[in-house]
């Protein structure tokens, strides 16, 4: 019997957006052996584990990922690889407390970049208010970043027009 990966993908996405995260993660794990859908499976697992860790914005991030072209998806995955973030690291029941503490500290140290990234993603999605919220949050952490000041200012001006 052949595995129908398209059907599994549909069930994974449906489960994810119905807030049935453990079921979605199980479907994504099945998809990981598919060469066609492995990248979606990987990112889905990262997002599920992120949501379970309290990072609720990962739901919007996954939506953006699905709506993106293949090159954008590849870039988003490379971001996680470049920062040495894997779904194994996010999974609380697969790592011990000491490793978890180290991982959380390293993610917190890079939270400004995450705020900037989310701000830019929401800007591309057309949600100017959420984009401003995240970029303003990043600006509070980097008050002397002139490029960030300019981005927030321009986005604020454009949202009032």
d(CA 123, CA 31) in angstroms, rounded, equals 30
Please say if the pLDDT value at position 123 is more than 50: yes
In this prediction, residues 58-71 reach a mean pLDDT of 84
Kindly state the average pLDDT of the residues 22-48: 90
Any idea where the domains of the chain sit in the sequence?
Answer: 5-105, 111-160
Of 97-106, 114-123, 149-158, the one with minimum mean pLDDT is 97-106
Among the ranges given (15-24, 97-106, 134-143), the one the predictor scored with the smallest mean pLDDT: 97-106
Query: Does residue 7 carry a pLDDT above 60?
Result: yes
Report if pTM > 0.95.
no
CA-CA distance, 115 to 113, in Å (whole number)? 5
For residue 85, pLDDT over 80 is answered with no
Q: What is the pLDDT of residue 60?
A: 85
Residue 59 has pLDDT above 90, yes or no: no
b/e per residue 125-160 (b: at least 16 CB within 10 A): eeeeebbbebbebbbeeeeeeeebeebbeebeeeee
- Residue-wise pLDDT tens digits, 142-159: 888 888 889 899 888 877
Residue 101: predicted pLDDT? 40
User: What pLDDT was estimated at residue 113?
Assistant: 66
More confident residue, 138 or 84: 138
Dihedral class, residue 128 (left if φ above 0, else alpha if ψ from -120 to 50, else beta): alpha
Q: How high does pLDDT run on average in the chain?
A: 77
């Amino acid at each position: 019997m052949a595995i129908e990966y398209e059907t599994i993908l549909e069930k994974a996405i449906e489960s994810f957006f119905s807030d049935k995260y453990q079921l979605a993660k199980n479907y994504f794990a099945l998809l990981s052996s598919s060469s066609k859908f492995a990248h979606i499976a990987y990112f889905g697992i990262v997002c599920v584990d992120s949501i379970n860790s309290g990072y609720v914005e990962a739901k919007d991030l996954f939506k953006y990922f699905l709506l993106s072209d293949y090159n954008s998806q590849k870039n988003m995955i490379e971001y996680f690889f470049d920062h040495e973030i894997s779904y194994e690291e996010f999974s609380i029941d697969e790592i011990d407390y000491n490793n978890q503490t180290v991982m959380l500290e390293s993610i917190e140290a890079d939270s400004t970049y995450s705020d900037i990234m989310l701000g830019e993603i929401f800007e591309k999605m057309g949600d100017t208010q959420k984009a401003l919220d995240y970029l303003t949050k990043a600006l509070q952490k980097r008050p002397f970043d002139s490029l960030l000041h300019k981005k927030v200012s321009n986005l604020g001006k454009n949202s009032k027009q």
